[in-house]
């Protein structure tokens, strides 16, 4: 029987998965807590001590991703995590896209009062983990 996940558990699964990837890159990562937070993960380069913030947007399936509450700044990155209806499979690796928040406007569509990103706009950002590592090493 397939388990039904809430948006909260989907988001938490994605945040921990992304924290693992960032740790494997040699970065210090800290999960922020709370439901009304503006940042999900704080990233610190252990050598330079420079920081970046990360907003995680995760979905179980896929139609589009809502980005209404994403902040835009030079030191902020959005990581989209799409589980492709396989959230229940711990071996499956979801599609992940690393997007500089300054580029969010160029990939966002408007639908009624919502700002959304379609998967077709994300292809150039797939698995761009090196961008995040380079950015934190060079930021500020």
Sorted by where each starts, the structural domains of the chain and their CATH numbers stand as 7-138 (3.40.1350.10)
Q: CA–CA separation, 63 vs 59, rounded Å?
A: 9
Full DSSP string of 59-103:
ESS-S-EE-TT----TTEEEEEEE-TT-TT-TTPPPEEEEEEGGG
pLDDT at site 1? 45
Structural tokens at position 98:
């690393």
Q: How confident is the model at residue 35 (pLDDT cuts 50, 70, 90)?
A: low
Q: CA–CA separation, 122 vs 119, rounded Å?
A: 5
pLDDT at site 3? 59
pLDDT at site 111? 85
Q: Is-above-0.95 flag for pTM?
A: no
């Amino acid at each position: 029987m397939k388990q039904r996940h809430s948006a909260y558990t989907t988001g938490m699964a994605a945040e921990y998965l992304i924290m693992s990837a960032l740790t494997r890159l040699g970065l210090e990562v800290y999960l922020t807590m709370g439901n009304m937070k503006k940042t999900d993960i704080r990233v610190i380069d252990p050598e330079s001590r420079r920081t970046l913030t990360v907003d995680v947007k995760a979905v179980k399936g896929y139609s589009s991703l809502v980005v209404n509450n994403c902040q835009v700044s030079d030191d902020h990155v959005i990581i989209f995590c799409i589980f492709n209806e396989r959230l229940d499979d711990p071996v499956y690796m979801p599609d992940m896209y690393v997007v500089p928040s300054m580029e969010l406007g160029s990939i966002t569509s408007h639908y009624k009062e919502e700002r959304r990103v379609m998967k077709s706009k994300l292809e150039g950002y797939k698995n761009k983990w090196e961008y995040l590592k380079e950015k934190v090493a060079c930021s500020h």
